[in-house]
């Protein structure tokens, strides 16, 4: 994405300039509307930095909060300044593949700007660019990438020169106030200024309590609209309904049921086995017993999560209740989002449902959540389900975690904390709790070691003990032996099965497969899922004594769909097993109904091998035994949320393949996403 952000910035700045000139020619603007070069440079730097932050899951840049940034302190740079520059600095450092001495570069610019003699900036910039390019040339970059990185490097230098003349954060705010590329949100909502109404600045900001919040206009609109729609839905008057409280339900579950019975909007959170699904099942049963029919939808962010939601809800239904649940859907499918990205349902054409239950809400990004809540009609009951300790969405935002932190929504949420899956003896449950409770100290790995030594269901293998990664892969492959044997036994027999016996065979094969899964932090590297899948593919083929083939498809291979394929009834996250059937290689997908697609009809672009998958892809799934694999090369991805999510995918046993340092980092590094949803709630309270 970052390759195009400078082009976007150039396009936007040209649009702002064109708009200014047009309205100026019509005498429709109030006051001066000059666009000095320094204003444009500042906009380009902050816009590029915001795009980089969005790419990492953030929605906002926050300046003025306390920081211990060593770079800032060592070089006497203001903390607000280094926060602005850091996303770009990180990108340039990573591209160089070595430590570039930006402290010395900034010092050179500072000295030049303070020099009494006139500085030839073109010569200075050319010299510094040549210095940076020497680092780039040591790495594999094509011409287009090098040109882009040098343009970003030059932008950084020019922006630093501009920022160096701004003494403090309040002075920066004054600079933004006179810059047409930036809009003060509070002022914009209270003013009648034609300039602010028509120029549509691309960056929005709020400065309050000595803290500056900066959004791209699109990110601000998504968070503001989402918050407004939640307030709208939560404030609706809905008919109350009574609930028959079943035996064995705890006080928190009672509170959750009462909340939904009395309110239009509710959030139910909790870890694995705390009864979220059971609680919702009782609510669904109570609704079904009402005299007035209720139009209910069950939705989740991914196809896999939606499928599991339906299965879990059905399993939670008492034997004496006959209730046909609606087919769970992805949010995209519920909204009718087509290949062009346009939704059939939106604010002007709302959904007809009376109740919508949204599972795995931790996976919700702010843009999709904003689209979804805009399309829900006032008076529709909405229930959000999820585990706020899990990984946040792949897309920008952390909607569930944000909503759980907003004080004004406190009466709209219940947290379930009594797990029936993991009791006090469960090592998996104890490890999940340990990860959530860890703060940064040097005793984290010691606590982990003591736990795995005391619990037979938590194992640890130090990957530094392996001379070659392949030795680790061999151990990772061992729990798949039953699956390998089952596919080998059926290699020449599956095609002979009758149509009546195929569904049972497929179900049994998936039961064997789902006893185990390998979860990785990343795709790349020796311990990423790509290399592990490559190795497991080889040994699976070898186990079945298969001849060499140019095709990636073979009997027994495990695959995952990574894009919704509505024409086949397949969704992102669906797992399939390829088998040699009567009609040739066919991929069978797990689920209540048998879904079979000829392998030749599935493009390589929409499917990946899935003996090992990333932790992100594992959300919404569970297996009896899980192997979790990561090392220091995954440092940027390691966090408490990633480790917790991986561990809680295991029902009964987890084995960690890692190092002491990587585990310490994973246990003590919280995912800190800078988001503005709570801030938009404050703004709505202020200005309405």
Domain boundary assignment for the chain: 7-32, 35-209, 222-421, 427-668
Q: Can you give the pLDDT at residue 587?
A: 93
Q: Comparing 7-21, 246-260, 508-522, which segment has the lowest mean pLDDT?
A: 7-21
- Residue 196 near residue 75, CB atoms below 8 Å: no
Q: 270 labelled as ligand-binding?
A: yes
**Parallel, antiparallel, or unpaired for β 355-358 and 296-300?**
parallel
Q: 271 labelled as ligand-binding?
A: yes
Q: What's the average model confidence in pLDDT over 113-128?
A: 73
Element (H, E) at 654: strand 650-658
pLDDT in tens, 374-400: 999 999 989 999 888 888 877 888 899
Q: Can you give the pLDDT at residue 657?
A: 94
Q: 671 labelled as ligand-binding?
A: no
Q: Can you give the pLDDT at residue 377?
A: 93
- Residue 350 near residue 376, CB atoms below 8 Å: yes
Residue 251, CA distances (Å) to 60, 255, 433 in order: 38, 6, 21
% pLDDT > 90, the chain = 25
- Residue 301 near residue 331, CB atoms below 8 Å: yes
**What pLDDT band is residue 157 in, cutting at 50, 70 and 90?**
confident
Q: 261 labelled as ligand-binding?
A: no
Q: 248 labelled as ligand-binding?
A: no
Neighbours of 432 (CB within 10 A): 25
Instruction: Give the ranges where 137-263 is alpha helix by DSSP (H).
Output: 143-163, 169-177, 185-190, 194-199, 217-234, 251-262
pLDDT in tens, 445-501: 888 888 888 888 899 999 988 888 989 999 999 999 999 999 999 988 888 888 889
Q: What's the average model confidence in pLDDT over 12-22?
A: 55
Q: Which residues of 454-487 are buried (b: 16+ CB within 10 A; e: fewer)?
A: ebebbebbebeebeebeebbeebbebbeebbebb
pLDDT in tens, 498-553: 888 998 999 999 999 999 999 999 888 889 999 999 999 999 998 888 877 767 88
How many residues appear in the chain?
Answer: 688
- Residue 81 near residue 175, CB atoms below 8 Å: no
Query: pLDDT at residue 97 above 80?
Result: no
Q: What's the average model confidence in pLDDT over 546-568?
A: 83
Q: Where is pLDDT greater, at 591 or 367?
A: 367
Q: Can you give the pLDDT at residue 424?
A: 63
Cα–Cα distance, 682 to 688 (Å, whole number): 10
- Residue 640 near residue 668, CB atoms below 8 Å: yes
Q: Can you give the pLDDT at residue 69?
A: 46
Q: 276 labelled as ligand-binding?
A: yes
Cα–Cα distance, 371 to 248 (Å, whole number): 38
List the strands of the sheet with 182-184, edge to edge. 61-63, 211-216, 203-208, 182-184
Maximum average pLDDT range among 41-55, 69-83, 119-133: 41-55
Q: 556 labelled as ligand-binding?
A: no
Q: What angle do CA 443, 444, 447 make, to 5 degrees?
A: 85
Q: Can you give the pLDDT at residue 2?
A: 41
Q: Where is pLDDT greater, at 317 or 151?
A: 151
Would you call 548 exposed, middle or buried from its count of C-beta atoms within 10 A (0-12, 13-18, 19+)? Answer: exposed
Q: Can you give the pLDDT at residue 433?
A: 85
- Domains 222-421 and 427-668 belong to one CATH topology: yes
Compute and round to an integer the Cα radius of gyration of the chain.
28
| CATH homologous superfamily of 222-421 | P-loop containing nucleotide triphosphate hydrolases (3.40.50.300)
Cα–Cα distance, 505 to 438 (Å, whole number): 44
**What pLDDT band is residue 118 in, cutting at 50, 70 and 90?**
low
Residue 371, CA distances (Å) to 222, 329, 376 in order: 8, 16, 9
Cα–Cα distance, 632 to 325 (Å, whole number): 45
% pLDDT > 70, the chain = 86
**What pLDDT band is residue 636 in, cutting at 50, 70 and 90?**
confident
DSSP per-residue codes, 405-420? H-GGGGGGEEEE---S
Claim: this prediction has a pTM higher than 0.85: no
Q: Where is pLDDT greater, at 316 or 673?
A: 673
Instruction: Give the ranges where 263-320 is alpha helix by DSSP (H).
Output: 276-288, 303-316
| CATH homologous superfamily of 427-668 | P-loop containing nucleotide triphosphate hydrolases (3.40.50.300)
Q: 274 labelled as ligand-binding?
A: yes
Q: Can you give the pLDDT at residue 225?
A: 93
């Amino acid at each position: 994405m970052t390759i195009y952000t400078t082009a976007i910035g150039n396009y936007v700045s040209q649009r702002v300039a064109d708009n200014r000139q047009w309205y100026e020619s019509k005498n429709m603007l109030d006051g001066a509307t000059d666009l000095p070069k320094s204003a444009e440079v500042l906009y380009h730097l902050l816009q590029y930095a915001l795009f980089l932050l969005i790419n990492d899951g953030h929605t906002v840049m926050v300046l003025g909060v306390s920081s211990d940034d060593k770079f800032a302190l060592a070089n006497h740079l203001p903390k607000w300044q280094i926060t602005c520059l850091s996303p770009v600095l990180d990108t340039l450092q990573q591209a160089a593949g070595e430590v570039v001495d930006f402290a010395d570069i900034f010092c050179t610019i500072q000295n030049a700007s303070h020099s009494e003699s006139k500085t030839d900036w073109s010569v200075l910039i050319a010299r510094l660019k040549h210095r940076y390019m020497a680092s780039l040339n040591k790495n594999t970059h094509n011409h287009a990438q090098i040109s882009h990185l040098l343009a970003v490097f030059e932008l950084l230098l020019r922006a630093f020169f501009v920022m160096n003349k701004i003494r403090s954060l309040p002075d920066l705010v004054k600079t933004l106030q006179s810059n047409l590329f930036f809009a003060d949100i509070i002022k914009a909502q209270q003013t009648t200024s034609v300039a602010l109404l028509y120029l549509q600045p691309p960056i929005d900001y709020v400065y309050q309590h000595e803290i500056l919040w900066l959004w791209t206009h699109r990110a601000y609109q998504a968070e503001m609209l989402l918050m407004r729609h939640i307030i709208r839905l939560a404030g609706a008057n809905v008919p109350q309904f009574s609930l028959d409280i079943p035996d064995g339900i705890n006080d928190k579950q009672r509170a959750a049921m009462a909340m939904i019975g009395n309110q239009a909007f509710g959030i139910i959170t909790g870890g694995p086995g705390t009864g979220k699904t059971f609680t919702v099942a009782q609510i669904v049963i109570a609704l079904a017993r009402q005299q007035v029919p209720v139009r209910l939808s069950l939705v989740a962010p991914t196809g896999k999560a939606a499928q599991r939601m339906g299965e879990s809800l059905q399993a939670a239904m008492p034997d004496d209740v006959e209730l046909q649940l609606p087919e769970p859907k992805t949010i995209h499918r519920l909204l009718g989002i087509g290949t062009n990205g346009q939704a059939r349902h939106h604010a002007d054409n709302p959904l007809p449902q009376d109740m919508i239950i949204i599972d795995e809400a931790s996976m919700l990004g702010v843009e999709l959540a904003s689209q979804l809540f805009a399309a829900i009609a006032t008076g529709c009951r909405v229930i959000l389900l999820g585990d706020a300790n899990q990984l946040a969405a792949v897309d920008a935002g952390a909607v569930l975690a944000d909503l759980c932190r907003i004080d004004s929504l406190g009466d709209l949420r219940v947290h379930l904390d009594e797990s029936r899956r993991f009791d006090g003896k469960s090592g998996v449950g104890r490890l999940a709790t340990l990860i959530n409770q860890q703060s940064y100290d040097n005793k984290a790995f010691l606590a982990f070691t003591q736990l795995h030594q005391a619990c037979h269901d938590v194992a640890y293998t130090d990957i530094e003990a392996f001379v070659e990664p392949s030795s680790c892969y061999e151990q990772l492959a061992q729990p798949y032996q039953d699956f390998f044997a089952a596919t080998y036994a059926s290699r020449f027999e599956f095609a002979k099965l009758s149509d009546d016996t195929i569904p049972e065979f497929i179900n049994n094969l998936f039961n064997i497969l789902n006893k185990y899964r390998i979860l990785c932090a990343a795709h790349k590297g020796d311990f990423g899922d790509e290399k592990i899948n490559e190795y497991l593919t080889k040994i699976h083929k070898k186990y079945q004594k298969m001849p060499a083939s140019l095709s990636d498809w073979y009997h027994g291979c495990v695959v995952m769909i990574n894009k919704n394929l509505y024409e086949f009834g397949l969704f992102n996250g669906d797992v399939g097993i390829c088998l040699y059937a009567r009609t040739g290689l066919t991929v069978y997908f797990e689920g209540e109904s048998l879904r079979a697609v000829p392998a030749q009809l599935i493009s390589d672009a929409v499917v990946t091998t899935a003996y090992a998958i990333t932790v992100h892809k594992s959300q919404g799934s569970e297996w009896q035994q899980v192997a979790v694999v990561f090392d220091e090369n995954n440092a940027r991805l390691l966090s408490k949320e990633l480790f917790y999510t991986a561990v809680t995918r295991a029902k009964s046993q987890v084995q960690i393949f890692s190092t002491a340092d990587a585990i310490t980092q994973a246990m003590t590094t919280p995912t800190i996403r800078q988001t503005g949803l709570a801030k938009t709630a404050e703004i709505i309270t202020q200005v309405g």
